[in-house]
Structure 1
Amino acid sequence: MASEIKKKAFWRAVIAEFLAMIIFVFISIGAALGFNFPVAQSQNATRTQDIVKVSLAFGLSIATMAQSVGHISGAHLNPAVTLGCLLSCQISILKAVMYIIAQCLGAVVATAILSGITSEVRENSLGLNGPSGGVSAGQALGVEIIITFQLVLCVVAVTDKRRTDITGSIPLAIGLSVALGHLIAIDYTGCGMNPARSFGSAVMARNFSHHWIFWVGPMIGGAAAAIIYDFILAPRTSDFTDRIKVWTRGVEEYDLDGDDNARVEMKPK
């Protein structure tokens, strides 16, 4: 870990997560807060269109940031995605911790900027998540687990270096997965599949009611997706010692060897 923290590439990646998170939250939550600034001449604003607008803002902003900084940090922009990548041995424990800190700080900074811009809005929740009326905490937790599961499953699948069948845009695929999660979950929980994003709103709104749901749910969903993909759907045959080396030394590239697609040896370079 000590050797990894001395590398410039390590800090570039952490800074990229911080800056990209600011842009992502500013665009996505800004789109949601835009409900409070309707265009008086428009007769087309409807609840359905508002949900689509916000979902597209989240999805397209993630896709844009993934295209912009993916080559620097991997563009996780979500603690649940970072956890999934950690469990599938794509990053070290130290980098995962630093990524999550950077993501949370970026979300707080972006939400603080939005708080200033929307200071005239009454009862401004700043995108605060919470179970909708009639939705229990347990049901909200289940929704968050499922939508984050599909997101992290998409991420680990499309970034699998063993695959040769992907010809489309990986950032767009991930962005569409984020948009899909929001289309499903906005009416139930406000969609908190990104714990850092939820954290920024909770800090600035000074309201942590039900906030645990938006950490526990996404983290369970992300961990489950990574484990199921890495050990069941597309298993790697690797020594546990090799995995420990990846988690501690920060090795991110693998020599992949195997005599069939289902059995692949993972060895740190």
Structure 2
Amino acid sequence: MKKMCMVGAKSNLSRPLHQCKSEQEKFEGGNRRNDTSKLSEILGLEELFSLNVWRASLGELIGTAIFVFAIDTIVISSYDAEIKAPKLLMSILIAIIIAILLLATNPVSGGHINPIITLAAALIGLISLSRAAIYILAQCAGAVLGALALKAVVNSTIEKTFSLGGCTLTVIAPGPNGPIVIGLETSQALWLEIICTFVFLFTSIWMAFDLRQARNLGRVKIFSIIGIVVGLLVFVSTSVTAAKGYAGAGMNPARCLGPALVRGGHLWNGHWVFWAGPGIACVAFYLYTKVIPPQHFHAHEYKHDFLNILKALFPSDRVNRK
């Protein structure tokens, strides 16, 4: 007896089984192609080959290079000047330079100059993961260029004393019985990175990502607020520990990477903290945006949301096979 199959859920017609299998395979093949196309669009794979995206990343590269050069110069000069409140002066200058650089790079690339801002934007869906990868690559390259520029203009004594203004957990200092290691414990530094970065994202970057607030406040106000928040967090992280040898919360892995690659040495001690801490905070911030009521976050058009990527990877409406 020839095996038959139904054509359509509500049809009384039937066809030979081998014809149904052929049609089913075509249907499933079409679905797979659609899923692949949708995933490629959400990931923004076409941007990997977009000249405009790579040209925009040049703004991130130059902006991060200037940022690293300026910030590390501020760190060195603040402590080398031997003023009464070097941490306060350093924080104020950092706030100013960040606001200026964000205003300068925003029209070109969106004004990130920080892998954490880029990663947060990618998770939320403001940019694609492909663009985020290009931006982060440009930011790391820019940080190296900024550190090389600083190395070229400072003398070897200052470079050795202040480690090119890089991110440090500990330093080796002379002690009564020989060299000793002073600084902050790794666990404490990790928590500071997580807490400070989350506060940074929650209190300032959130305003830039929320289109409603971005329109109401304007770029100048938002970037000024971001600069002020970063300056305050730098001041808090360096003051609350009062640990010599600890450079404070980095909140920007690229900024820590540049001097580490150029200067090396103890800048690599615990360097992973300056990546892991902000990364954890970034994921926590994204989860926060998913938990709060959706009407408080006007970002419905953010198609690159990481949750959409997961849905494309693991679609729930699988074809039922019979």
Report the TM-score when normalising by structure 1.
Answer: 0.79
Moved more, 150-159 or 162-171: 162-171
Deviation at 1:231, TM superposition (A): 3.4
Q: 1:22 maps to what in 2? A: 65
Q: 1:211 maps to what in 2? A: 271
Verify: 1:33 aligned to 2:76, yes or no.
yes
Verify: 1:135 aligned to 2:154, yes or no.
no
Verify: 1:161 aligned to 2:235, yes or no.
no
- Report SS of the residue matched to 1:129: coil
Cα distance in structure 1, aligned partners of 2:192 and 2:307? 35
Verify: 1:117 aligned to 2:153, yes or no.
yes
Verify: 1:173 aligned to 2:235, yes or no.
no
Q: 1:247 to 1:61 in 2, by over 3 A?
A: farther
Cα distance in structure 2, aligned partners of 1:78 and 1:242? 19
The superposition leaves residues 219-252 of structure 1 with CA deviations (integer Å, 9 ceiling, x where unpaired) of 111221233134326457969987369869xxxx
- Report SS of the residue matched to 1:45: coil
The superposition leaves residues 120-139 of structure 1 with CA deviations (integer Å, 9 ceiling, x where unpaired) of 32524112322354631111
Verify: 1:184 aligned to 2:236, yes or no.
yes
Alpha-carbon contact 1:156-1:229 (below 8 Å) kept: no
- Asked which structure has the greater CA Rg, the reply is 2
- Report SS of the residue matched to 1:140: helix
Cα distance in structure 1, aligned partners of 2:301 and 2:80? 56
- Report SS of the residue matched to 1:214: helix
Cα distance in structure 1, aligned partners of 2:122 and 2:304? 14
Give the counterpart letter for 2:255 in structure 1.
R
Q: 1:220 to 1:83 in 2, by over 3 A?
A: same
Alpha-carbon contact 1:108-1:200 (below 8 Å) kept: yes
Verify: 1:53 aligned to 2:113, yes or no.
no
Query: Which residue of 71, 74, 83 maps to 2:107?
Result: 71
Aligned residues: 241
Identity of aligned residues (%): 28
Q: 1:200 maps to what in 2? A: 258
Q: 1:196 to 1:206 in 2, by over 3 A?
A: same
Query: Which residue of 96, 102, 107 maps to 2:143?
Result: 107
Q: 1:180 to 1:239 in 2, by over 3 A?
A: closer
Q: 1:254 maps to what in 2? A: none
Cα distance in structure 1, aligned partners of 2:186 and 2:52? 41
Give the counterpart letter for 1:243 in structure 2.
D
Q: 1:114 to 1:227 in 2, by over 3 A?
A: same
Deviation at 1:174, TM superposition (A): 0.9
Cα RMSD after superposing both structures: 2.8
Q: 1:36 to 1:151 in 2, by over 3 A?
A: closer
Cα distance in structure 1, aligned partners of 2:78 and 2:221? 31
Q: 1:185 to 1:237 in 2, by over 3 A?
A: closer
Higher helix share: 2
Alpha-carbon contact 2:67-2:101 (below 8 Å) kept: yes
Cα distance in structure 2, aligned partners of 1:91 and 1:241? 9
Give the counterpart letter for 1:226 in structure 2.
Y
Report the TM-score when normalising by structure 2.
Answer: 0.67
Deviation at 1:74, TM superposition (A): 1.3
Cα distance in structure 1, aligned partners of 2:301 and 2:122? 16
Q: Which runs of 5+ in 1 are unaligned?
A: 39-43, 249-269
- Report SS of the residue matched to 1:91: coil
Cα distance in structure 1, aligned partners of 2:47 and 2:307? 12
Q: 1:110 to 1:226 in 2, by over 3 A?
A: same
Q: 2:48 maps to what in 1? A: 5
Give the counterpart letter for 1:72 in structure 2.
V
Give the counterpart letter for 1:177 in structure 2.
V
Q: 1:12 to 1:138 in 2, by over 3 A?
A: same
Alpha-carbon contact 2:124-2:306 (below 8 Å) kept: no
Q: 1:245 to 1:4 in 2, by over 3 A?
A: farther
Deviation at 1:37, TM superposition (A): 5.1
